[in-house]
Chains A and B, each alone.
Chain A
Amino acid sequence: MRHSLFVYDDDDRLVEEIAPFLLSGLVGGEPVVVVLDRRKWERLARALGAHADRVLHVERDAFYTRPEAAVAGYDATLRRFVRAGASAIRVFGELPRCETDADRDRWLTYEAILNRAFVHQPVWVVCGYDTREVSGPLLDGALDTHPELLANDWDVSPHYHEPEDVVRSRTPTPASLPDLRTLPVPRDARAFRRALSAQLEAAGVPRPEAWSMLVAAEEVLANAERHGGGAPKVRVGRVDDRFVCEISDHGPGIGDPLAGFLPPRPGHVSGAGLWVARQLTTQLELVPSQTGATVRLSV
């Protein structure tokens, strides 16, 4: 995988650099994906002429709902292209507008994760940062998270930081939730699902979300049983408009800040449980704990 940064300040510049980038993929028979708002895509499409028909255009704000979903979306798209025989794929994309510092940190975390998520795929991703829309701190973060940037040519970025460091430093520490209720220690997975299911129903959580929470929580429980020394503690409850389930074990904790962010790969056996849990919940947080690992799930 190549993951490159392109900074620009007007539409002409965008067309001048990115149309040739896409075109050289298209004439080489590569699948090409563009994740961009409609207005900018139309400018690019005019420049590509008839070739534009072979580009998979995805509307930016519909695609970038949250980082976990965006990683899964790219993963599925890349896997299908590779399965169909592609040996090289090009992607040009722009992040959604980040209105808050928290949004900015979430999407920079996502940029960092990309560097590890698709190392095995034959893809070149170029990320556009439009200085008319992007703040200074976001642009600084973009320099940290792209190994390569376009200056005179595609150059190695001197600012690049390891993804683990970026994710660690940009993930807020979750506050403790003292008001959650403790459930009895589950006898086995089935008993755990029955107990959690009753809590979800009592809290009025709609069915699809309840199913997602059941599967996600059971995966975290499975991890706690395997690595966490057994007898995990389970706490649940409503927090504002969310339903939260927290599972604590006595193990060494989850040291890798990218745990559960990387798509499962054939032949790699570990880590898929947390991936599933992250995909199915609106948020999975690693809560600092003195006695072991605590994972907090929200739907």
Chain B
Amino acid sequence: MAVAFVRDRLQRGDKVVYFRDRDDADALVSSLERLDPGAIATGQFEVRRSRDVYLPDGRFDADRMLALLRDEHDRARADGYSGLSLTGEIPDAVWELPGGEQVGAYEARLASEVDAPECSILCQYGHARSGRGLPSDVIEAHDVDLGPELAAIGRDGELAAARDRQRDALRLAGELDFGCAQTVSDVLDAYSRGPLHLDLADLTYVDVAGMRALRGRTRQRLTISPASDAVRRLLALLGWDTDPDIELVETGWS
């Protein structure tokens, strides 16, 4: 998911900053770095420890954080970038530390106070880590959310799910195999109604059971856009390319 976002924004000419919390995110970070090594060299793409950004003195301060983002944004524009894009993880520790209760209000203020069209933010919250749904005020403040009903997907395998409100799409990232197919199918059956729009650009691995899970028990209409190579190849092998209930929308860059 983050990979698609970063790739997209780098191509658009944004400055991109990735806030990294987890120590096990090396694979992700190195795959981001491989995307565009030139962007690292020129400083267009930066990776920073999110703890240092959000919690420099062991507490979270919404005003300080918003001021920092505004500065970042102004600097990016001054340096000639088309805009500023931020993504990454808010440190897990924030919930336990002083100021943690401000996060929901901070996310809401982000939307209104850093409201420049050339600034975009993809917030990531690890389900597996927090082990509980996010406070509802945090969820409400996002165009992309990881509603608690999707949490089961993240717990079961190397797979993450998020809803993109703007496009009304469900994004799946990671590996969807027969081990977690049942959970995905259950979640889709329980929470999706009518036609389903899936963003599978970052589904790096999928098997037959995984593809079937996407159709759920209701065999609802599917629109897949965009799709990773793994998805595209399996889709053709299964003959879904001529299924009238499934539409694969080709996109330019994948």
Which single residue of chain A is at the shortest CB-CB distance from B236?
A76
Q: Which residues on A sit within 8 Å (CB–CB) of B209?
A: 222, 273
Per-residue 0/1 for B195-211: is the Cβ within 8 Å of any A Cβ (1 yes, 0 no)?
00000000001011100
Is B242 in the interface zone, CB < 8 Å from A?
yes
**Inter-chain contact B178/A189, CB cutoff 8 Å:** yes
**Inter-chain contact B239/A265, CB cutoff 8 Å:** yes
**Cα distance, A280 to B208, chains bound together (Å):** 13
Q: Which residues on B sit within 8 Å (CB–CB) of A193?
A: 175, 177, 205
**Inter-chain contact A272/B158, CB cutoff 8 Å:** no
Is B243 in the interface zone, CB < 8 Å from A?
yes
**Cα distance, A159 to B158, chains bound together (Å):** 54
**Cα distance, A215 to B177, chains bound together (Å):** 10
**Cα distance, A82 to B241, chains bound together (Å):** 13
Q: Which residues on B sit within 8 Å (CB–CB) of A188?
A: 179
Q: Which residues on A sit within 8 Å (CB–CB) of B27?
A: none
Q: Which residues on A sit within 8 Å (CB–CB) of B244?
A: 83
Q: Which residues on B sit within 8 Å (CB–CB) of A247?
A: none
Per-residue 0/1 for B58-98: is the Cβ within 8 Å of any A Cβ (1 yes, 0 no)?
00000000000000000000000000000000000000000
Query: How many A residues have CB within 8 A of the partner chain?
Result: 28
A190-B234 CB under 8 A given contacts A80-B242, A83-B244, A272-B208 = no
Chain A's nearest CB lies how many Å from the CB of B208? 5
**Cα distance, A200 to B208, chains bound together (Å):** 22
**Inter-chain contact A276/B208, CB cutoff 8 Å:** yes
User: Which residues 188-236 in A have Cβ within 8 Å of B in the complex?
Assistant: 188-190, 193, 211, 215, 218-219, 222, 225
Is B41 in the interface zone, CB < 8 Å from A?
no
Chain A's nearest CB lies how many Å from the CB of B220? 14
**Inter-chain contact A276/B237, CB cutoff 8 Å:** yes
**Inter-chain contact B237/A275, CB cutoff 8 Å:** yes
Chain B's nearest CB lies how many Å from the CB of A249? 15
Which of B157, B178, B230, B244 has the most C-beta atoms of chain A within 10 angstroms of its own C-beta? B178
**Inter-chain contact A264/B239, CB cutoff 8 Å:** yes
Residue of B157, B158, B234, B242 touching A215 (CB-CB under 8 A): B234
Which of B179, B209, B237 has the most C-beta atoms of chain A within 10 angstroms of its own C-beta? B237
Residue of A72, A215, A264 touching B207 (CB-CB under 8 A): A215
Q: Bin chain B's interface residue count.
A: 20 to 34
Chain B's nearest CB lies how many Å from the CB of A230? 13
Is A269 in the interface zone, CB < 8 Å from B?
yes
**Cα distance, A218 to B230, chains bound together (Å):** 14
Chain A's nearest CB lies how many Å from the CB of B61? 40
Q: Which residues on B sit within 8 Å (CB–CB) of A219?
A: 207-208
Q: Which residues on A sit within 8 Å (CB–CB) of B230?
A: 211
Residue of B158, B179, B234, B239 touching A266 (CB-CB under 8 A): B239
**Inter-chain contact B238/A218, CB cutoff 8 Å:** no
Chain A's nearest CB lies how many Å from the CB of B26? 16
Q: Which residues on A sit within 8 Å (CB–CB) of B155?
A: none
**Cα distance, A80 to B237, chains bound together (Å):** 14
Which single residue of chain A is at the shortest CB-CB distance from B212?
A269
**Inter-chain contact A222/B239, CB cutoff 8 Å:** no
Which single residue of chain B is at the shortest CB-CB distance from A83?
B242
Q: Which residues on B sit within 8 Å (CB–CB) of A285?
A: none
Which single residue of chain B is at the shortest CB-CB distance from A272?
B208
A263-B179 CB under 8 A given contacts A190-B158, A219-B208, A222-B207 = no
Chain A's nearest CB lies how many Å from the CB of B204? 11
**Cα distance, A190 to B158, chains bound together (Å):** 8
**Cα distance, A163 to B242, chains bound together (Å):** 27
Q: Which residues on A sit within 8 Å (CB–CB) of B238?
A: 264, 272, 276
**Cα distance, A189 to B206, chains bound together (Å):** 11
21 CB < 8 A contacts A-B = A75-B239, A76-B236, A76-B239, A76-B242, A82-B242, A83-B242, A188-B179, A189-B179, A218-B178, A219-B207, A222-B178, A263-B239, A264-B238, A266-B243, A273-B207, A273-B209, A276-B234, A276-B237, A276-B238, A279-B237, A280-B237
Extra inter-chain contacts (16) besides given A265-B239, A276-B237, CB under 8 Å: A76-B239, A76-B241, A76-B242, A79-B242, A80-B242, A188-B179, A189-B179, A193-B175, A193-B177, A193-B205, A215-B207, A218-B178, A264-B239, A266-B243, A275-B237, A276-B238
**The 10 nearest A-B residue pairs measured at CB:** A79-B242, A189-B177, A83-B242, A222-B178, A189-B179, A273-B208, A272-B208, A188-B179, A276-B237, A264-B238
